[in-house]
Amino acid sequence: MSEKKTRSTQRFNGSTVTVILTLAIMFLLCGTVYSQNLSSQQGRYWKWAAPQGWSHSESIAGVTLTSPDGKYEAALAGLMRSQGHTTPTAFLRRMLGMAYSKVKLVAVRQLPNQKMGHPTWTWIEADVTATSKSGSQMKGIWRCGVANYYNLNDAFVNGWWAPVSSFQQSKNSLEPIAKSIILTDPNEAFGNNQLIHPSTSSSAGLAKNNPNTTGDMIMKSWENKNKSLDESMRKDTNVRRGYEPAYDPSTGQQYTPSLSKWNAAKGGYVNPNSPTEVLNCGTPGDPKPCTAR
């Protein structure tokens, strides 16, 4: 990688937090008027407004807000620095499909592109139908933005679900809830405080997250109700990025081996410091099954 391209990448990584904060505020200010019935709440990374009694699930990647009866939901979530390029429609289907089945984008509206920081974000808004885990027929309005740069992408989703039977009458109440979610801790959101900065000697480390902010942590913000779903989401994210966190069980030293380094004969990733042993996957405090197994 050239020195010029490396400096450009470093500038982009430094501006990523500002981009995300700008996008979140854009959602908030897009013609939304708060209802007096919504109560504002500050989480660790995010702030939102929801009716009394609604539950929340928050992580470094976003917030999911759920009504007491479980029938209504609003959320905002992002996935940063994934390998390859994608489109808003593909990413939206992928994300919603992790928690719902039979996802269908019944109407897609192109929103204006946004030049924010280094990349250009491409946006859509879609009317979406799906089936919940309980078998309920759901419908919602979701926005999705994607920024492709080099061989990476950042993506963002924001929207809400309601039962099909109450979709029309739910718009005015659920839209303000979804758009109320804003970022308040840009230093730690999306693992930005633990980035491994790119080096001039190799592009392999370009904009990777530290092992402590692996894909399973990112995805759990989206749907934290089913452990098997979380596990499949974690593996899917690792596959997209092409690497997964691992550690030496004897010393606790952490690594991010490429999935291509999986040694089927030995049943694991070979320990660089002890070639006769294999690494454990995950982190010392949060061991996981290996994705490549």
Q: Is the pLDDT assigned to residue 167 strictly greater than 70?
A: yes
Q: What is the number of other CB atoms lying within 10 angstroms of the CB of residue 248?
A: 18
In a domain, 195, yes or no: yes
Q: Which domain holds residue 260?
A: 243-287
Tens digits of residue pLDDT in 199-229: 333 333 333 333 333 334 444 444 444 444 4
Q: What is the pLDDT of residue 124?
A: 95
Residues 6+ apart with CB under 8 A from 198: 1, 6, 9, 10, 13, 205, 206, 207
Tens digits of residue pLDDT in 239-282: 666 778 899 988 989 888 888 888 888 889 999 988 899 999 98
Are 154 and 283 part of one and the same domain?
A: no
In a domain, 293, yes or no: no
Average model confidence (pLDDT) across the chain: 76
Tens digits of residue pLDDT in 27-68: 444 544 445 488 899 988 889 999 999 999 888 888 999 999
Are 233 and 269 part of one and the same domain?
A: no
Are 161 and 256 part of one and the same domain?
A: no
Are 169 and 231 part of one and the same domain?
A: yes
In a domain, 292, yes or no: no
Integer Cα distance of 103 and 139 in angstroms: 10
Are 90 and 117 part of one and the same domain?
A: yes
Q: What is the pLDDT of residue 78?
A: 84
Are 131 and 221 part of one and the same domain?
A: yes
In a domain, 164, yes or no: yes
In a domain, 13, yes or no: yes
Are 247 and 227 part of one and the same domain?
A: no
Are 170 and 272 part of one and the same domain?
A: no
In a domain, 256, yes or no: yes
In a domain, 61, yes or no: yes
Tens digits of residue pLDDT in 136-152: 999 999 999 999 988 88
Integer Cα distance of 85 and 54 in angstroms: 36
Are 166 and 267 part of one and the same domain?
A: no
Q: What is the pLDDT of residue 222?
A: 44
Predicted structure pTM score = 0.61
Q: Is the pLDDT assigned to residue 127 strictly greater than 70?
A: yes
In a domain, 180, yes or no: yes
Integer Cα distance of 128 and 139 in angstroms: 6
Are 262 and 120 part of one and the same domain?
A: no
Are 280 and 172 part of one and the same domain?
A: no
Task: Please give the tally of structural domains in the chain.
Answer: 2
